[in-house]
Chains A and B, each alone.
Chain A
Amino acid sequence: MDRKRPFSQWEDLTLVQREHILAKIDSALVAQDLRKGDSVSVRALFELDNGETLELEIPSSWPANSELGWGYMENRFHASKTLDQACALLDSVELLVPPRIRDEELGDAREIVYRLVREGAPRWKIFLKVATTFFWVGVNTIREVIAGLAGQKAKK
């Protein structure tokens, strides 16, 4: 199956796919002996472990220098790893909270986490957001339960 993804969809790839692409790009940059300050537009085809062919478009602003390029991709890799971990943590409590809080508060928190990653926020800031979300989701779940009980009592 042929699939084409723009570079901005890097976050949609699995960790294995990202590692695979990082290694390919690194070796390609070294092989082409690109110089510091050069810029290049890369349309690269990658065959992934699952047999899928991925055409990845990298914008011309991407630093072509091997060292810079690798550092850039490594940062992106660590950021996306943080994103996966933060989202997995947020998703882990979804069965413990009412559906309304799950959709509204956990959904909004995931949006914030994505935004923080895009802005290049440090790892501690992202996990602090996850921690405060856990705290408020807990408090708001108790509030909702109390409000629900109070509503039932008022109806009687």
Chain B
Amino acid sequence: MYNSSRFEETMDAPVTAKAALLQVLISGPGYGLELIERVSAHTKGALVLGQGSVYPALRELEREGLVKSYPGEATPERGGRPRIYYKITAEGRRVAAEQRTTMLAVAQPLGAH
């Protein structure tokens, strides 16, 4: 299960792949390739995830119980292999909301306090 020390770990970089993926998964399930595009569109190209970061991040999120995977359709283009879709769990939603609040608080201009 998720704990606060893990949350601190995920917040040690401005926006990690895991945090970005959680945010885009709020809008609905998706598979690796599609999630890469959604993160890029969501951040207006400011964050582009690659093959080296997206899949390990998704599997780590699943091990932490923040997302759940399930097999999708197998197409001839994929050589008969199913797409692996991810959907956010209730715990994942809670963590995504926390991360969003923290990021927005950090982004507040100094004069606003």
B residues near A34, Cβ cutoff 8 Å: none
Complex Cα–Cα for A106 and B82 (A): 10
Interface of chain B: mostly helix, strand, loop or mixed: helix
A108, A109, A147: which contacts B63 (Cβ < 8 A)? Answer: A147
Name A's interface SS.
Answer: helix
What B residues does A105 contact at CB under 8 A?
32, 51, 55
A108: B residues at CB distance < 8 A = 31-33, 51, 78, 83
Interface residues on B, range: 20 to 34
- A53 CB-CB contact with B under 8 Å: no
Given contacts A104-B32, A108-B32, A108-B33, contact A140 B55 (CB under 8 A): yes
Residue among A102, A103, A140 with most chain B CB within 10 A: A103
Docked complex: A91-128 residues within 8 A CB-CB of B: 91, 100-112, 114
Asked whether, in the complex, the Cβ of A103 is within 8 Å of the Cβ of B84, the reply is yes
| A: interface residue count bin | 20 to 34
The 7 closest A-B pairs by CB, nearest first: A107-B81, A107-B78, A104-B84, A103-B81, A136-B51, A108-B33, A114-B77
Measured between alpha carbons, how far is A107 from B76 in the docked complex, in Å? Answer: 10
> A143 on the interface (CB 8 Å rule)?
yes
- Do A110 and B78 contact each other (CB < 8 Å), given the known contacts A104-B32, A105-B32? yes
Residues of A within 8 A of B31 (CB): 104, 108
